């Protein structure tokens, strides 16, 4: 499609320099908004006809032609032009090519400023709901895995050092909580995105008697913007979404880091399916967790998108500035990246194999039952700080001799703890057993199978 004259070129006597034209154009980035742009124009023109701002027959003709252009674009029969700058001017140029003077009326009572704000909000509403659905699928996958591993004991860590035993189900439910918060953040972000800016014009509205609420109704918006200056210069909704996307990626990255560690020979907790790993070009034995590593790496990319948007908007005076053209690449990239990562992460989780025996064996090491021994002494009447110190002495004694707390005789425990006889009974060995330690942590939110079952039920209820 060749354009001889700019649609805004009335006051210009020279053509735009070729390099400046290419530099100014955003069509290669914003062409994906064609559907949102056309749907917005259809609603706008329909309202113009209803308000008798345009003759009804002309409004109907424009709407029909816009629908034809939409069909042609989706069928690959329409071409976009760099000289038309952006998706808005490209669509308008296509309309004018087909309708002539009538096509020029589509932009009545509208600016590209409120038009692009509308398109971005329409696009983001759709993407937010797509990502929310993926987050719900991910939570469902985690709940299924948690139910399968209610009795799978594993070490819990702090500082990446063995701390206390938990279950794999309890560990997975921690991520259910994270992704539930992510979905809540997106739902909240959607509320502020679901505001219709069209009718704000370039910055000061219009003198035409628009029915903005009718346009909002046709496009499925819950509200209309209340200040025309703010409506065209606001990108808070995009920044908020990208911040929420960054937190999602942070959660995915943490999870992937653990899966990468767990899949090493040193841990041996899980085996990732061949479909989500790759080999080495030189080392035949390698099975690399590339998908998990890429998700971890792409987290930085989404962080960069957030910083890009924040930096673009920093110190911009009201209202619209051309700087804001740069917002879409970062917004699109953040949405695309999060979706892509979630889509591949869900089946990665579904197909991984868990080595229950290796996890349980690991949970029995590192004196993970030390706190339980201290709690045992507290139940015998000892103050916790005294119990803590006594168990610390026992851990040191075992470390020097290469044994475990449960290997000590009652006499050794009494002597080396400094507590003397009477503090340790035969029941101490039951208290130090892994299954007992898990079962006894019945506090709401804890790792006992009963507590985790309740957490799973609450999570499923929330999802449904």
Q: What is the pLDDT of residue 172?
A: 98
Q: What is the pLDDT of residue 248?
A: 98
Q: What is the pLDDT of residue 6?
A: 66
What are the pLDDT tens digits along the chain (464 aa)?
A: 444 566 656 676 677 677 766 666 788 989 999 999 999 999 999 999 999 999 999 999 999 999 999 999 999 999 999 988 899 999 999 999 999 999 999 999 999 999 999 999 999 999 999 999 999 999 999 999 999 999 999 999 999 999 999 999 999 999 999 999 999 999 999 999 999 999 999 999 999 999 999 999 999 999 999 999 999 999 999 999 999 999 999 999 999 999 999 999 999 999 999 999 999 889 989 999 999 999 999 999 999 999 999 999 999 999 999 999 999 999 999 999 999 999 999 999 999 999 999 999 999 999 999 999 999 999 999 999 999 999 999 999 999 999 999 999 999 999 999 998 889 999 999 999 999 999 999 999 999 999 999 999 999 999 99
Task: Pull the structure tokens for residue 394.
Answer: 């026992």
Helix and strand numbers (H, E) in the chain are: 19, 6
Q: Which of 88, 200, 228, 280 is catalytic?
A: 280
Cis amide leading into 319 (omega within 30): yes
Beta-bridged to residue 158, according to DSSP, are 161
Q: What is the pLDDT of residue 155?
A: 97
Q: Using the 8-state DSSP alphabet, how is residue 367 labeled?
A: T
Per-domain residue ranges of the chain: 9-108, 114-149+165-357, 362-463
391-399: Cβ within 8 A, 24+ apart: 391/417, 393/417, 393/418, 395/367, 395/370, 398/367
CATH architecture of 9-108: Orthogonal Bundle (1.10)
3-class secondary-structure state, position 148: helix
**280 annotated active-site:** yes
Contacts of 337 (CB under 8 A, 6+ apart): 245, 249, 298, 301, 302, 305
Q: HEC string of 200-256?
A: CCCCCCCCCCCCHHHHHHHHCCCEECCCHHHHHHCCHHHHHHHHHHHHHHHHHHHHH
Q: How far apart are CA 455 and CA 204, in angstroms?
A: 52
267-274: Cβ within 8 A, 24+ apart: 267/358, 267/362, 268/355, 268/358, 269/154, 269/354, 269/355, 269/358, 269/359, 269/362, 270/352, 270/353, 270/354, 270/355, 271/352, 271/353, 271/355, 272/348, 272/351, 272/352, 273/348, 273/351, 273/352, 273/353
Beta-bridged to residue 166, according to DSSP, are 154
CATH of domain 114-149+165-357: 1.20.200.10
CATH architecture of 362-463: Orthogonal Bundle (1.10)
CB 106, CB 62: distance < 8 Å: yes
CB 255, CB 175: distance < 8 Å: yes
Per residue in 121-132, is it b (16+ CB within 10 Å) or e — as a string? bbbbbebbeebb
Q: How far apart are CA 411 and CA 422, in angstroms?
A: 10
Same fold yes or no, 114-149+165-357 and 362-463 = no
CB 196, CB 212: distance < 8 Å: yes
- Report CA-CA distances (Å) from 151 to 72, 169, 411: 57, 8, 33
**159 annotated active-site:** yes
Q: Using the 8-state DSSP alphabet, how is residue 157 labeled?
A: E
Q: Which of 88, 149, 159, 409 is catalytic?
A: 159
């Amino acid at each position: 499609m060749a354009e001889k004259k700019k649609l805004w070129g009335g006051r210009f006597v020279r053509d735009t320099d070729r390099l400046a034209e290419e530099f100014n154009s955003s069509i290669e980035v914003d062409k994906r908004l064609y559907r949102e742009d056309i749907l917005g124009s259809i609603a706008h023109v329909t309202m113009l006809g209803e308000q008798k701002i345009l003759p009804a027959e002309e409004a109907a003709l424009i709407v029909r032609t816009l629908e034809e252009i939409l069909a042609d674009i989706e069928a690959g029969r329409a071409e976009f032009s760099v000289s038309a700058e952006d998706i808005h001017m490209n669509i308008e140029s296509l309309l004018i090519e087909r309708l002539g003077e009538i096509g020029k009326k589509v932009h009545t009572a509208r600016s590209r400023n409120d038009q692009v704000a509308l398109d971005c909000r329409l696009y983001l509403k759709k993407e937010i709901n797509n990502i929310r659905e993926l987050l719900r699928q991910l939570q469902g996958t985690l709940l299924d895995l948690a139910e399968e591993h209610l009795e799978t004991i594993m070490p819990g860590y702090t500082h990446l050092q063995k701390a206390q035993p938990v279950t794999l189900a309890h560990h997975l439910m921690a991520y259910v909580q994270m992704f539930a918060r992510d979905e809540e953040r997106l739902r909240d972000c959607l509320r502020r995105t679901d505001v219709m800016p069209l009718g704000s014009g370039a910055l000061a509205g219009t003198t035409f008697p628009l029915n903005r609420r009718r346009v909002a109704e046709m496009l499925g918006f819950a509200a209309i913007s209340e200040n025309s200056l703010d409506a065209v210069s606001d990108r808070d909704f995009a920044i908020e979404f990208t911040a929420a996307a960054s937190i999602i990626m942070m959660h995915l990255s943490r999870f992937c880091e653990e899966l990468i560690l767990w899949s090493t020979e040193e841990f041996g907790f899980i085996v990732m399916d061949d479909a989500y790993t790759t080999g080495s070009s030189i080392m035949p034995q390698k099975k690399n967790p590339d998908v998990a590593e890429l998700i971890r790496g792409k987290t930085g990319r989404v962080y960069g998108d957030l910083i890009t948007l924040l930096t673009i908007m920093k110190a911009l005076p009201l209202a619209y500035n051309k700087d804001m053209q740069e917002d879409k690449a970062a917004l699109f990239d953040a949405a695309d990246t999060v979706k892509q990562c979630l889509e591949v992460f869900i089946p990665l989780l579904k197909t991984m194999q868990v080595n229950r025996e290796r996890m349980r064996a690991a949970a029995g090491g590192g004196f993970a039952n030390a706190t339980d021994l201290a709690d045992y002494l507290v139940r015998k009447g000892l103050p916790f700080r005294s119990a803590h110190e006594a168990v610390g002495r026992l851990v040191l004694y075992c470390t020097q001799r290469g044994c475990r707390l449960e290997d000590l005789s009652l006499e050794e425990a009494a002597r080396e703890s400094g507590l003397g006889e009477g503090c340790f009974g035969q029941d101490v060995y039951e208290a130090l057993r892994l299954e007992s330690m898990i079962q006894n942590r019945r506090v709401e939110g804890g790792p006992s199978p009963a507590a985790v079952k309740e957490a799973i039920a609450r999570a499923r209820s929330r999802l449904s």
